[in-house]
């Protein structure tokens, strides 16, 4: 019997590796999520074949991380990551293995994985390989390091952030010894690259129970060693859950009273995320003075307003807030959403006045934009012309 697990192309990859005489299994998050009855998005495959051997088996492969043993196989147009069984030896800097050693035994590979629930493998025939009691931990909703937690966090301090990330995503508790090891090793998070921390934080934000993770981050003193984190998470927790990662970053920024620039720099956020946060900062200042105005609805994306309002309400729980539906309705009901929506442009102004271009054109386009936005004039070429010529004559 073959297993109804994974996508058809991913099953094909496992089958072809087996047919070529190698071992191949599904591993990692997809197996864990399957046992939790959740739909997995990507199906990672581990194999006894070396990367070179993997490349021989398949006609279309891409080298994505060959030094770490990962080859991307393109099967029926689907990209599938195949990673050679490996161990990682001597971590001198708490970050990355000094040397990746390929091994032929699945159990050795599973042993280097972070948590028991992530050290599970599933064969094509449906056999579950669980050498570290991952199934029981899943049942008990426990995040437990594989082997000695202190050693494992010493090898790679990111695992501590992964532990809190999983507690948010799954709503699980971190097992006692694992938690204690986080407390003892929290300071070594400072050695981890920001990019890796950021990737875990993005998943943490949109988990089902971020507050659980925040509490652990504070209790274990991880907060002191993260790039930026408030020492009080009351406001941050009151903002949960988050629909998108940007809401999480916004809440972190406002709850911690950090500036958008500082937060973006500390976590190496993308330019898009940075400009989102800059807008949230500005929208929050506006909101401190009262409900959002037409100009605010016009200026800010609705996602920015929603993220801002979420934090504002967490800080002012007894004051009347603005419903998401109301913000969406306000945004949609604007007469224009940008200058491009105006039915006239600068050339029209020059034609109507028989004047050459200049600064005046931009100034008048701003006035027209304001007039249409505030419904002093409908967004109609003829009516704008009439309104404009009137005002233009009056002001000359």
- Chain contacts with Mg ion (rule: CB under 5 A): 29
Minimum Å distance from CB 110 to ligand ATP? Answer: 8
| Residues in touch with ligand ATP (CB under 6 A) | 28-29, 44, 113-114, 118, 156, 158-159, 162, 203
Report the residue number, 28 or 230, with the smaller CB distance to ligand ATP: 28
Minimum Å distance from CB 169 to Mg ion? Answer: 11
Minimum Å distance from CB 41 to Mg ion? Answer: 8
Residue nearest to Mg ion (CB): 29
Q: Binding partner of residue 159 among Mg ion, ligand ATP, none, CB under 5 to 8 Å per kind?
A: ligand ATP
Report the residue number, 143 or 327, with the smaller CB distance to ligand ATP: 143
Minimum Å distance from CB 46 to ligand ATP? Answer: 9
Residue nearest to ligand ATP (CB): 29
Q: Binding partner of residue 349 among Mg ion, ligand ATP, none, CB under 5 to 8 Å per kind?
A: none
Report the residue number, 156 or 348, with the smaller CB distance to ligand ATP: 156
Minimum Å distance from CB 244 to ligand ATP? Answer: 16
Q: Do 327 and 305 contact (CB within 8 A), yes or no?
A: yes
Q: Binding partner of residue 331 among Mg ion, ligand ATP, none, CB under 5 to 8 Å per kind?
A: none
Minimum Å distance from CB 122 to Mg ion? Answer: 14
Report the residue number, 185 or 379, with the smaller CB distance to ligand ATP: 185
Q: Binding partner of residue 296 among ligand ATP, Mg ion, none, CB under 5 to 8 Å per kind?
A: none
Minimum Å distance from CB 205 to ligand ATP? Answer: 13
Q: Binding partner of residue 114 among Mg ion, ligand ATP, none, CB under 5 to 8 Å per kind?
A: ligand ATP
Report the residue number, 142 or 159, with the smaller CB distance to ligand ATP: 159
How far is the CA of 348 from the CAs of 59, 222, 345, in angstroms?
59, 60, 6
Q: Binding partner of residue 200 among ligand ATP, Mg ion, none, CB under 5 to 8 Å per kind?
A: none
Report the residue number, 38 or 374, with the smaller CB distance to ligand ATP: 38
Q: How far apart are CA 212 and CA 219, in angstroms?
A: 11
User: 349: cis peptide before it, omega within 30°?
Assistant: no
Report the residue number, 29 or 69, with the smaller CB distance to Mg ion: 29
Q: Binding partner of residue 304 among ligand ATP, Mg ion, none, CB under 5 to 8 Å per kind?
A: none
How far is the CA of 244 from the CAs of 37, 176, 307, in angstroms?
23, 31, 9
Q: Binding partner of residue 118 among Mg ion, ligand ATP, none, CB under 5 to 8 Å per kind?
A: ligand ATP
Report the residue number, 29 or 134, with the smaller CB distance to Mg ion: 29
């Amino acid at each position: 019997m073959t297993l109804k697990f994974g996508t058809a192309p991913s099953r094909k990859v496992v089958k072809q590796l087996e047919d070529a005489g190698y071992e191949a299994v599904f591993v990692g998050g997809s197996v864990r999520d399957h046992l939790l009855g959740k739909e997995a998005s990507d199906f990672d495959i581990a194999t006894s074949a070396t990367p070179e051997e993997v490349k021989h088996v398949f006609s279309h492969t891409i080298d994505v991380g060959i030094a770490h043993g990962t080859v991307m196989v393109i099967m029926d147009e689907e990209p599938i990551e195949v990673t050679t069984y490996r161990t990682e030896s001597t971590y001198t800097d708490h970050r990355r293995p000094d040397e990746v050693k390929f091994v032929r035994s699945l159990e050795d590979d599973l042993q280097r994985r972070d948590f028991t629930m992530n050290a599970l493998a599933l064969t094509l025939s449906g056999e579950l390989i669980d050498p570290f009691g991952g199934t029981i931990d899943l049942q008990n909703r426990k995040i437990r390091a594989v082997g000695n937690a202190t050693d494992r966090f010493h090898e790679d301090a990111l695992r501590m952030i992964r532990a809190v990330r999983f507690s948010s995503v799954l709503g699980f508790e971190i097992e006692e010894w694992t938690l204690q090891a986080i407390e003892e090793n929290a300071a070594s998070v400072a050695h981890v690259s920001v990019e890796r921390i950021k990737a875990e934080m993005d998943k943490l934000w949109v988990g089902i129970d971020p507050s659980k993770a925040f509490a652990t981050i504070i209790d274990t003193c991880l907060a002191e060693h993260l790039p930026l984190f408030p020492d009080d998470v009351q406001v941050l927790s009151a903002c949960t859950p988050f629909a998108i990662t940007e809401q999480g970053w916004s809440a972190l920024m406002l709850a911690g009273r950090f500036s958008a620039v500082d937060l973006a720099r500390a976590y190496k956020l993308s330019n898009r995320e940075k400009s989102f946060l800059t807008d949230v900062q500005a929208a929050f200042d506006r909101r401190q003075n009262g409900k959002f105005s037409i100009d605010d609805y016009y200026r800010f994306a609705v996602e920015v307003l929603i993220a801002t309002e979420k934090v504002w309400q967490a800080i002012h729980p007894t004051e009347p807030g603005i419903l998401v539906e109301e913000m969406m309705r306000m945004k949609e009901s604007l007469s224009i959403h940008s200058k491009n929506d105006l039915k006239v442009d600068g050339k029209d102004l020059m034609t109507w006045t028989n004047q050459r271009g200049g600064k005046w054109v931009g100034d008048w386009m701003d006035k027209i934009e304001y007039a249409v936005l505030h419904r002093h004039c409908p967004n109609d070429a003829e009516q704008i012309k009439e309104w404009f010529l009137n005002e233009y004559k009056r002001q000359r």
